Amino acid sequence: MNPASHQPISRRSFFSSVNNGIHGAALAWLFSREFLRANPHAATIQPELNGRPQQTHFEPRAKAVIHLCMQGGPSQVDLFDPKPELDRHDGKPLPEENLKGTFQVQDARLMKSPWAFQNHGQSGIEMSELLPHMAGVADQFAMIRSMYNVHPNHEPAIYKMQSGKIFPGNPTFGSWITYGLGSVNQDLPAYVVLADPTNRLPVNGVENWMSGYLPPLYQGTTMRATGSPMLNLKPEYQEPGSVTATKRDLLKELDRIHKRDRPHQPELDSRISNYELAARMQLTATDALDIGSESESAREAYGINAKETESFGRRCLLARRLVERGVRFVQLYPRGQMWDNHGNIRSSLPAACRHQDQPVAALIRDLRQRGLLDSTLILWGGEFGRLPMAQGQNPQQVAKAGRDHGPWGFTTLLAGAGIKAGTTFGVTDDFGFAAAENRVSIQDWHATILHLLGMDHERLFFERNGLHEKLTHTFPTRVVKEVLA
């Protein structure tokens, strides 16, 4: 044994040697805690996994989000991004220099838009004649014309739009938002999905609203726009209220005992929370999705009385009712792939526009009239746009031509809380093929949404396998402040 080990240690020698081994690690941890207390913006503690309201990183502009998810790829050159050069070069090949930096595309001829554009509102935003109702609220939009995605196929591009990566298994941005913010209404889900009731699920199915490696508490809850909001929401038989209350109290006590013996299991906490929420929803969900109290003028404004707009109009009205009751994130999907206009674009694109044009404009007007637009962020757009070339074109079939997927440059719209209304940002090339100036990536879009909700994309994380997982992952990212008020 070394006799020196029994000698008293001085303060100086302690600090000169403590940086090695476990003592040094422990001391560094203690110092880091003191540093973080003195510098609250240096890092952020992971949100509590309980669904209750969470503290934001800074003052939020928005409290809720309505995502109008236009899967399929709305054609920017026919709706939002007029190109005089496209008109002049109609029927000619796309210049080779415009293809640099993109995947190989099929050789095709440029095709001008068959529809006219006009300036609308005091801002003078240009929009197509196909969207007369949305044009009527053009001054409420911020239009980003320089969005781009990284994949030309629907499935990977949708994964990218929803979760920030082109592969499945990651939380969607709706799940990240509810994880970071929690819910202000404990009787309704924080994340509600209103998919089309008559068609199959959208591309990628329920993975569009799954929570990935986040606890299941934060995944989207699908609700039906007609009839019972959810299957099995009501019990199969009636019983006295006191009996129901006693049964729930017993279940709560059993859950408490079960959790006590199994600490640090977020999946268990989420499962219990979901069951408790389901019990509370038996009253609140039915009320939230009952539009019987809405006026006839409201139904008319949303297009609920017309066959073509009934479905999407009803769901837009329900979205307003949900955010009015404190739901954080509401996501709407169109019918099938109606924006995927590979052929017959002269008939298929107008049909897609008619399906949602009037309801979207009514939603914005209704939110504004009720004072909710100042706290609600509206997102409109798809996973990509479409190419300026004709698809399937030959001299005899111009009228039947469509457009192929265009991930390299497309348009998305934002409106509401914190948005610089009546502005356009970004530029595509002369033909609308690719974003050319002030390019905005999917992760930039995600970071901007989080910013409006009071969250820093670098400080919102979930610890997994020793990593701080984030919505924006490790990609270069910036908040698009040019579209913020």
Instruction: Return the number of other C-beta atoms located less than 10 Å from residue 302's C-beta.
Output: 29
Q: What is the pLDDT of residue 41?
A: 46
pLDDT higher than threshold 90 for residue 403 = yes
- 3-class DSSP state for residue 423? strand
Chain centroid to Cα 256, Å, comes to 34
**Residue 353: half-sphere exposure toward Cβ, Cα within 13 Å:** 23
Distance CA 278, CA 186 (A): 10
Q: Write the single-letter amino acid at 330.
A: V
Q: What is the pLDDT of residue 17?
A: 57
Helix then strand count (H, E) for the chain reads: 13, 16
- H helix or E strand, kind and range, residue 331: strand 329-332
Cβ neighbours of residue 314 closer than 8 Å, sequence gap 6 or more: 225, 226, 291, 302, 304
Q: What is the pLDDT of residue 290?
A: 86
Take residue 407 and report the two structure tokens written for it. Answer: 């991930």
| Average pLDDT across the chain, whole number | 87
Q: Write the single-letter amino acid at 96.
A: E
Q: With bands split at pLDDT 50, 70 and 90, how would you rate the model's confidence at 164?
A: very high
pLDDT higher than threshold 90 for residue 289 = no
Q: What is the pLDDT of residue 229?
A: 57
pTM of the model: 0.84
Q: What is the pLDDT of residue 250?
A: 82
Take residue 133 and report the two structure tokens written for it. Answer: 């109702």
Q: With bands split at pLDDT 50, 70 and 90, how would you rate the model's confidence at 45?
A: low
Q: Which DSSP string corresponds to 379-409?
A: EEE-S-EE-SB-BS--TT-GGGBB--EETTS
b/e 127-154 (16+ beta carbons within 10 angstroms → b): bbebbbbbbbbbebbbbbbbbbbbbbeb
Q: What is the mean pLDDT of residues 114-133?
A: 97
Q: What is the pLDDT of residue 258?
A: 79
- 3-class DSSP state for residue 254? helix
Distance CA 177, CA 315 (A): 21
